[in-house]
Amino acid sequence: MSDNTMLSVKKLSVSFGKSVILNELSFDVFKGEAMAIIGPNGSGKSVLLRTLLGLVHHKGEIIWAPNIKIGYVPQRLDIEEEFPLTVKEFLQFKAGNYAEIIEVLEKVGIKTGETHEHHLEHHILNQRLGVLSGGEFQRVIIARALIGRPDVLLFDEPTSGVDISGEQTIYNLLFRLQKEIGLTVILVSHDLNVVYKYANNVLCLNKEQVCFGRPDVVLTPEELKSLYGGGAEFYKHSH
């Protein structure tokens, strides 16, 4: 393992009962990189993230860099509008103090500062978590993951609930964080355009590791066809 290796995975397999969920995955993630995991529904993307977190029984090796701090953004939270929990309380569970809450909110682009303090309290901090819009909700969840200054962020993209414009800003945000604070990002994504635009490496998953490498190299029409079947549409943007 080199100094820059954040995560090294070798021959990782996961089975639930008799069904194989992940089969012999091997890949490395380096410091400051963004790695995207793509694949059709049921291909094991979320399971892979949970396995990397140590929550799933597995075979093979998962080696994180020593003393690494991991932030995790799960795909969904069980929270309804009526759930009596304010954003402030949700962040306080993890944050040591108010300053830390403000710091992470600023990082995710929720404006703070002296003049906005009242506005922030009223519209975000004292609101119930369940009433936030999809985009605000994602930002708050990411903010929570950033408390304690993690080295790596594991982001499981929600399948729904975030509108397109909101979704784009979430990606801008993730990759801004990657650049600004050197955060290593591992994300599950459903949007190939986003992957192509932002990710350094992509892992194509369909229980097996279909491909791994730079998106512009490995995301060929043939690979995508074998990953998603015939129906996948992908427009290669030129920048």
- Site residues for another protein per CB under 8 A: 50, 53, 55, 70, 72, 74, 76-79, 82-86, 88-89, 93-94, 126, 128
d(CA 150, CA 64): 13
Beta carbon of residue 63, minimum distance to another protein (angstroms, whole number)? 18
Nearer to another protein, 53 or 232 (CB): 53
Q: 124, 110 in Cβ contact below 8 A?
A: yes
Nearer to another protein, 185 or 210 (CB): 185
Q: 234, 192 in Cβ contact below 8 A?
A: yes
Beta carbon of residue 143, minimum distance to another protein (angstroms, whole number)? 14
Nearer to another protein, 53 or 173 (CB): 53
Nearer to another protein, 49 or 102 (CB): 49
Q: 59, 2 in Cβ contact below 8 A?
A: no
Beta carbon of residue 48, minimum distance to another protein (angstroms, whole number)? 13
Residue 85: strand, helix, or coil = coil
Count of positions (residues) in the chain: 239
Beta carbon of residue 124, minimum distance to another protein (angstroms, whole number)? 13
d(CA 239, CA 230): 26
Nearer to another protein, 58 or 211 (CB): 58
Beta carbon of residue 144, minimum distance to another protein (angstroms, whole number)? 9
Nearer to another protein, 95 or 203 (CB): 95
d(CA 81, CA 139): 17
Beta carbon of residue 223, minimum distance to another protein (angstroms, whole number)? 30
